[in-house]
Chain A
Amino acid sequence: MNKQSKFLIAGFVLSLVLAGVVSNFASSSPDGLEKVAEDIGFLDSAKEHSNADGPLADYGVKGIENERLSTGAAGVIGVIATAGASTGLFLLLRRKNGATK
């Protein structure tokens, strides 16, 4: 295996661990924007998300009761989906570039 593949695999595994395991230890306090909105008083102007009932809404997999497993599984799905979509996009752009040259 060349150095490039090793680096990519290491980075992907690290992302899986961060999203799948470490994510359970993240702070659950509101983020900066949400907190400011709450303190100033415009938080209630937020509408419910149109995908709020989706199978992965709020970083949990519907149907998995255990909260840690649910968050972890959502994280793993997100990592795989993001890797697929972004790498696909960038490979596509790269190919077009090669073709015009």
Chain B
Amino acid sequence: MHIPDGFIDIPTSVAFAGIATAGMALSLKGAKSALDEKTAPLAGLTATFIFAVQMLNFPVAAGTSGHLLGGALAAILVGPWVASLALTVVLVMQALLFADGGLTALGLSVFNMSLIGVWVGYGIFILVKKILPKNKSSISIAAFLGGLISVPFAAAGFVLQYAIGGTGTFSISQVLTAMIGTHILIGIGEGVISALAVGAVMASRSDLVYGYKGASQVLETRVKE
């Protein structure tokens, strides 16, 4: 879902670059409280792992592939603020080094993947976790649904950008239908990878999972009160 230069006009790209920058400024603030001696290297590893897995396109339908976006996964592992920054580092690396995703379109991609992908993924994860019984397998199910649902929402971000500043003259509803349909399929892959990765970390070092730790910390503070 890396947007090349040219799909979206320059004024819209600049406007979204502004929103993306503001989002990253907030994330820098929010991330500080989540980053300590122990979690900073883990956050770096999360970005690194997402870069690697984003290279692994999987087939979804005739002549179409998809790859992990990683927003939900990162948010569950290291918290949403740090996750937004991690995703943005990945997107900047891909655009600068590998010519993947346009430079003027970077703000558009950051908005869709680092902001929408992360926050929708994390929101769904928290919601599902609340509904399900409090155990480790619920974390994996919540990770699956968070990953699944984050992808069509990120795709909808692109449709919004296309509706505002698309350089083509195609009908928005046509773009919307095609983008959402394709990205629900990709979302299934996203959900599976997110659940497997979160499950693997839960099995070896559940104390490192922000989305799992978060629950017990909230409980602790409640007890203290």
Which residue numbers of A lie inside 8 Å of B, CB to CB? 3-4, 7-8, 11-12, 14-16, 18-19, 22-23, 26-33, 35-37, 39-42, 45-47, 49-52, 54, 56-59, 74-75, 77-79, 81-83, 85-91, 93-94, 96-98
Q: What are 8 contact pairs spanning A and B, CB under 8 A? A: A23-B55, A31-B66, A74-B98, A75-B55, A90-B44, A90-B85, A91-B44, A94-B40
The answer to whether B179 and A82 have CB atoms under 8 Å apart is no
**Beyond A45-B6, A90-B35, is A18–B179 a contact (Cβ under 8 Å)?**
no
Smallest Cβ distance from B117 to chain A, in angstroms? 13
Smallest Cβ distance from A71 to chain B, in angstroms? 8
The answer to whether A56 and B182 have CB atoms under 8 Å apart is no
What CA separation (Å) do A73 and B66 show in the bound complex?
Answer: 22
The number of residue pairs between A and B whose CB atoms lie closer than 8 Å in the complex comes to 222
The answer to whether A57 and B98 have CB atoms under 8 Å apart is yes
The answer to whether A18 and B52 have CB atoms under 8 Å apart is yes
| Interface membership of B90, Cβ < 8 A | yes
Chain B interface size, as a band, is 35 or more
Which residue numbers of B lie inside 8 Å of A, CB to CB? 1-7, 28, 31-33, 35-49, 51-53, 55-60, 63-67, 82, 85-86, 89-90, 92-100, 102-103, 155, 158, 166-168, 170, 174-175, 178-179, 182-183, 185-186, 204-205, 208
Query: What residues of A have a CB within 8 angstroms of the CB of B94 in the complex?
Result: 78
The answer to whether A33 and B40 have CB atoms under 8 Å apart is no
Smallest Cβ distance from B41 to chain A, in angstroms? 6
The answer to whether B65 and A29 have CB atoms under 8 Å apart is yes
The answer to whether A15 and B168 have CB atoms under 8 Å apart is no
The answer to whether A90 and B43 have CB atoms under 8 Å apart is yes
| CB-based nearest B residue for A49 | B99
Smallest Cβ distance from A48 to chain B, in angstroms? 8
Query: What residues of B have a CB within 8 angstroms of the CB of A52 in the complex?
Result: 99
